[in-house]
Copies of this chain bind each other. A is one copy, B any other.
Amino acid sequence: MDYKNKLKKTVRKKNSHLIAGIDPDVTKFPEFIYKKKNPLYEFCRFIIEKTSDLVAGYKFNIAFFEAEGHIGIETLEQLLKEKKEDLIYICDAKRGDIGNTSEQYAKAYLDKMNFDAITVSPYMGVDSAEPFLKRQDKLVYVLALTSNKGSKDFQKLWIGSKLFYELVIEKFLESGYSNLGFVMGADYAKEINRITSVKENIPLLIPGIGAQGGDIENLMKNIKNDSYLINSGRNILYAGKYDDNPKIYEEKVRLECVNLNNAIK
A residues with a Cβ closer than 8 A to B are 23, 25, 61, 63-64, 66-67, 69-71, 73-74, 77, 94-102, 104-105, 107-108, 112, 121-128, 143, 146-155, 157-159, 164, 167-168, 171, 212
Is B148 in contact with A107, judged by CB distance below 8 angstroms?
no
A-B residue pairs in contact (CB < 8 Å), sample of 21: A23-B101, A63-B97, A63-B102, A66-B108, A67-B104, A67-B107, A69-B112, A70-B71, A70-B74, A73-B73, A94-B124, A123-B143, A124-B146, A124-B148, A124-B155, A125-B146, A125-B148, A125-B153, A127-B149, A153-B171, A164-B164
Residues of chain B within 8 A of A126, CB atoms compared: 150, 153
Given the interface pairs A69-B73, A70-B70, A108-B69, the reply to whether A101 lies near B154 with Cβ below 8 Å is: no
Is B158 in contact with A105, judged by CB distance below 8 angstroms?
no
Instruction: For the complex, give the distance between the alpha carbons of A155 and B125 in Å.
Output: 8
Our pick among B77, B94, B122, B155 for the contact of A69 (Cβ within 8 Å) is B77
Q: Could you tell me the distance in whole angstroms from the C-beta of A82 to the nearest C-beta in chain B?
A: 16
Residues of chain B within 8 A of A73, CB atoms compared: 66, 69-70, 73
Q: A63-B101, A99-B148, A124-B148 are in contact. List 17 more A-B contacts (CB 8 A).
A: A23-B100, A63-B108, A66-B105, A67-B104, A69-B108, A70-B77, A94-B96, A94-B97, A94-B121, A123-B123, A123-B146, A125-B146, A127-B149, A154-B171, A157-B164, A157-B167, A158-B159
Instruction: For the complex, give the distance between the alpha carbons of A258 and B4 in Å.
Output: 52
Q: Is the interface of A mostly helix, strand, loop or mixed?
A: helix
Residues of chain B within 8 A of A149, CB atoms compared: 125, 127
Residues of chain B within 8 A of A67, CB atoms compared: 104-105, 107-108, 112
Considering the complex, give the chain B residue whose CB is closest to the CB of A174.
Answer: B153
Is B125 in contact with A122, judged by CB distance below 8 angstroms?
no
Residues of chain B within 8 A of A122, CB atoms compared: 123, 154
Is B150 in contact with A128, judged by CB distance below 8 angstroms?
yes
Residues of chain B within 8 A of A153, CB atoms compared: 125-127, 171
Q: Could you tell me the distance in whole angstroms from the C-beta of A29 to the nearest C-beta in chain B?
A: 15
Residues of chain B within 8 A of A94, CB atoms compared: 95-97, 121, 124
Is B104 in contact with A64, judged by CB distance below 8 angstroms?
yes
Instruction: For the complex, give the distance between the alpha carbons of A140 and B71 in Å.
Output: 26
